[in-house]
Amino acid sequence: MDDERTSRARSDLVDHLRRTGRIHSSSVAAAVEAVPRHEFVPESARDRAYEDRPLEIGRGQVVTAPHLVAQMTELLELDRGHRVLEVGTGSGYHAAVMAEIVGPERVFSLERFPDLATRARDALERTGYGDVTVIVGDGSLGLPRAGPFDRISVAAVAPSVPDPLGDQLTDDGTMVIPLGPREGPHELHLVERADGRLERTPHGRVRFVPLIGRYGFER
Ligand code: SAM
| Interval 79-102: pLDDT, tens | 999 999 999 999 999 999 999 999
Q: How far is Cα 155 from Cα 50, in angstroms, rounded to an integer? A: 19
- Ligand 1 contacts CB of residue 191 (under 6 A): no
List 151's β-bridge partners, or say none: 84, 174
- Ligand 1 contacts CB of residue 213 (under 6 A): yes
Q: Which amino acid is at 217?
A: F
Residue 15 lies in a domain: yes
pTM exceeding the 0.75 threshold for the entire prediction:
yes
Q: What local confidence, expressed as pLDDT, does residue 218 receive?
A: 96
Q: What local confidence, expressed as pLDDT, does residue 137 receive?
A: 98
Q: Which amino acid is at 87?
A: V
Share of the chain above pLDDT 90, in %: 98
Atom of ligand 1 nearest to the CA of 212: 20
Residue 31 lies in a domain: yes
Q: Is the pLDDT of residue 2 over 90?
A: no
Share of the chain above pLDDT 70, in %: 100
Q: What is the mean pLDDT of residues 65-76?
A: 98
- Ligand 1 contacts CB of residue 116 (under 6 A): yes
Residue 215 lies in a domain: no
Backbone CA torsion sign across 210, 213, 214, 219: positive
Residue 82 lies in a domain: yes
Q: How far is Cα 14 from Cα 91, in angstroms, rounded to an integer? A: 20
Q: What is the mean pLDDT of residues 177-183?
A: 98
Quote helix, strand, coil % in the chain, to nearest 5. Answer: 40, 30, 35
Q: In what order do the strands lie in the sheet with 84-87?
A: 133-136, 107-111, 84-87, 149-154, 169-179, 186-194, 197-206
Q: What local confidence, expressed as pLDDT, does residue 1 receive?
A: 63
Q: What local confidence, expressed as pLDDT, does residue 3 receive?
A: 85
| Interval 139-160: pLDDT, tens | 999 999 999 999 999 999 999 9
- In angstroms, how far is CA 45 from the centroid of its own chain? 19
175 C-alpha to center of ligand 1: Å?
16
Give Rg (Cα) of the chain.
Answer: 16
Q: With cut-offs at 50, 70 and 90, classify the pLDDT of residue 26.
A: very high
Q: What is the mean pLDDT of residues 42-67?
A: 97
153 C-alpha to center of ligand 1: Å?
11
Residue 77 domain boundaries:
4-206
Q: Is the pLDDT of residue 215 over 90?
A: yes
Atom of ligand 1 nearest to the CA of 91: 5
Q: Is the pLDDT of residue 104 over 70?
A: yes
CATH number at residue 188: 3.40.50.150
Residue 213 lies in a domain: no
Residue 72 lies in a domain: yes
Atom of ligand 1 nearest to the CA of 94: 4
Domain count, the chain: 1
4 C-alpha to center of ligand 1: Å?
31
- Classify strands 84-87 and 197-206 as parallel, antiparallel or unpaired: unpaired
Asked if 82 and 104 touch (Cβ cutoff 8 Å), the reply is no
Residue 219 lies in a domain: no
- Ligand 1 contacts CB of residue 179 (under 6 A): no
Residue 32 lies in a domain: yes
Q: Is 3 exposed, middle or buried (0-12, 13-18, 19+ CB in 10 A)?
A: exposed
- Ligand 1 contacts CB of residue 113 (under 6 A): yes
